[in-house]
Structure 1
Amino acid sequence: MRLKDKVAFITGAAQGIGAAAATKFAGEGALVVVADINDALGRDTVGLIRSQGGDALFVHCDTTQEDSVEAAVEAAVTHYGALDILYNNVGGSTPNDGPVTTVAMEEFWRCIKLELLSTFLVSRHGIRAMQRAGRGGSVINTATYVAVIGTAGRDCYTAAKGAIISLTKSMAVEYAPDRIRVNAVAPGAVVTQRMTDFYAKNPTHPVFAESNRHRRPHVPSHLLGLIETEDIANMALFLASEESRRITGTIQLIDSGATAS
């Protein structure tokens, strides 16, 4: 097993990409901490893992509030004794994002909190736990392909995710002496319920405009088709495992060729 007895703390693990990663990590022997603000769905994910013979714990965690993050990490360490893997999966574009000239400042700060602040806070307390354990670790952040190529109509989101790319690189240098690796996954357009719901409610949003080829409903720029949650979970598993022991400070694109097309 690739993650046998490793303790993995995954944020936003109640559904979508986070839940896919949680079940995959558990299947590879990890002791999984499902951290989420949605208690009901989080416990469902834990139940699924346990039904498949895995070991998991749910902790309530609002990743934008430091007290909540600190308590969640402490609960994980108290239960499992250490922390080896930290997957900062929480995020996603906010509903009223837009161009820098027109978007409300409240939306900008909302996005910064959801994306950048949450990554910062969970890393802050998660890495402290890794340092105390003294056995190294792997941190996996979440960026996006549009932070690399740009996109219309989501200036807050791309700014926050671009900052995560920079943070990932600086953290990789900072914590290498502790044998803590830091990388980021950068997904393309992922087929999730959240994406489907957003399009259904906002079909005229600029991200779906014909002029924005990277986010049209059929996304033809994704050469091998839209991304599935399993694709992201597979990359996260690789970055969490010893197979990537010499990889740090990288941004791993899982974009079906979108940045090349």
Structure 2
Amino acid sequence: MTARFDTYGVMVTGAARGIGEATARRFAAEGAGVLVADLDEEAARRTASAIEADGGRAVGVGCDVADSAAVGEAVEVAVAAFGTLDVLVNNAYSCSERRDGFTDERDEDWQRDLDICLIGTMRCSRAALPHLSAAPGRRGAVVNIGSVNGLSYFGNHSYSAAKAGLISLTRSLAVESASSGVRVNMVAPGTIRTPAWQGRERVLEAAARSYPLGRVGEPSDIAAAVAFLASQDAAWITGITLPVEGGILGVNLGFMEALQQVE
């Protein structure tokens, strides 16, 4: 694999497992030093150790993106470890369990999902931007991890609203940061096979049948898109939301099934 990120320092939140881990591994494989930040500090350190065992450079730290002080400390660890911070990947998330209906929604669920998915992204970006702006060659970049839930209806109201807000934040930060040479983009994944689905493999199998490409996504699918948007291959791309979703946004299964019932 080419070393597109040789000499880069990269911070990935929620990086101990799933999409975050795959993304951290992708950057390390392409030459970057990676800060593996996660609420679960022990798991973050394990992932960082595994990356180093594979020949990469990584440091694992505990980081609660709901805590501004913890975010600031994690950013400083990245700068101290790698001498630079060139890329921030905002992947940490909270997705409250689905309720029977909207009238069953709870304030605390909305507050948690918004605080982690949306405000947490703001906290991390705010702390990282001075360093990203100082990155050589105008290579500073932020890549946010959104969801197709922010683009269409897939349930989970509070999570979906937070991810929709992230689309706006991505555009705003892109314009705000452009003069300092920092690009800000977002990847919106569809259903991805992560540890969050453990024990629900049959649900994933059913979901796969709804995707035009015939499968759910893998964490590596998202990591590849993130690496592209963070790289100089995307040097003239900022403020966009890139769906990586196997074609699910292009279909309307309910409409198709309704037609089939009367034909």
Give the TM-score taking structure 1 as reference length: 0.89
- Give the partner amino acid of 2:147: T
Q: Is the 8 A contact 1:97 1:155 kept in 2?
A: no
Q: Give the corresponding residue for 2:34.
A: 32
Give the TM-score taking structure 2 as reference length: 0.88
Q: Give the corresponding residue for 1:50.
A: 52
- Aligned counterpart for 1:116 among listed residues 110, 115, 118: 118
Change (3 A) 1:126 1:135: farther
- Aligned counterpart for 1:151 among listed residues 142, 151, 154: 154
Deviation at 1:218, TM superposition (A): 2.8
- Give the partner amino acid of 2:118: L
Change (3 A) 1:98 1:84: farther
Deviation at 1:132, TM superposition (A): 4.4
Q: Is the 8 A contact 2:34 2:57 kept in 1?
A: yes
- Give the partner amino acid of 2:229: L
Distance in 2 (CA, whole Å) between partners of 1:25 and 1:98 is 40
Q: Give the corresponding residue for 2:224.
A: 234
Deviation track 1:19-45 (CA, whole Å, cap 9, x = no partner) reads: 111111101000111111112211111
User: Is 1:60 equivalent to 2:78 in the alignment?
Assistant: no
Q: Is the 8 A contact 1:100 1:156 kept in 2?
A: no
Distance in 2 (CA, whole Å) between partners of 1:163 and 1:139 is 16
Change (3 A) 1:99 1:165: farther
Q: Is the 8 A contact 1:98 1:156 kept in 2?
A: no
Distance in 2 (CA, whole Å) between partners of 1:12 and 1:57 is 14
User: Is 1:164 equivalent to 2:159 in the alignment?
Assistant: no
Distance in 2 (CA, whole Å) between partners of 1:216 and 1:146 is 19
Distance in 2 (CA, whole Å) between partners of 1:70 and 1:168 is 20
Deviation track 1:30-86 (CA, whole Å, cap 9, x = no partner) reads: 011111111221111111111111111112211111010011111211222221000
Matched residue pairs, number?
247
Higher percent of residues as helix? 2
User: Is 1:222 equivalent to 2:229 in the alignment?
Assistant: no
Deviation at 1:219, TM superposition (A): 4.1
Q: Is the 8 A contact 1:168 1:182 kept in 2?
A: yes
Computing the radius of gyration from Cα coordinates, the structure with the larger value is 2
1:116-135 pair list within 5 angstroms: 116-133=118-135, 135=137
- Give the partner amino acid of 1:251: T
Deviation at 1:111, TM superposition (A): 0.9
Distance in 1 (CA, whole Å) between partners of 2:100 and 2:77 is 38
Identity among equivalent positions (%) equals: 35
- Aligned counterpart for 1:247 among listed residues 217, 233, 237: 237
Deviation at 1:96, TM superposition (A): 5.2
Deviation at 1:106, TM superposition (A): 1.0
Gaps of 5+ in 2: 252-263
- Aligned counterpart for 2:19 among listed residues 17, 20, 38: 17
Gaps of 5+ in 1: 209-214
Q: Give the corresponding residue for 1:87.
A: 89
User: Is 1:140 equivalent to 2:143 in the alignment?
Assistant: yes
Distance in 2 (CA, whole Å) between partners of 1:164 and 1:260 is 21
Moved over 3 A (4+): 96-100, 132-136
Q: Is the 8 A contact 1:8 1:30 kept in 2?
A: yes
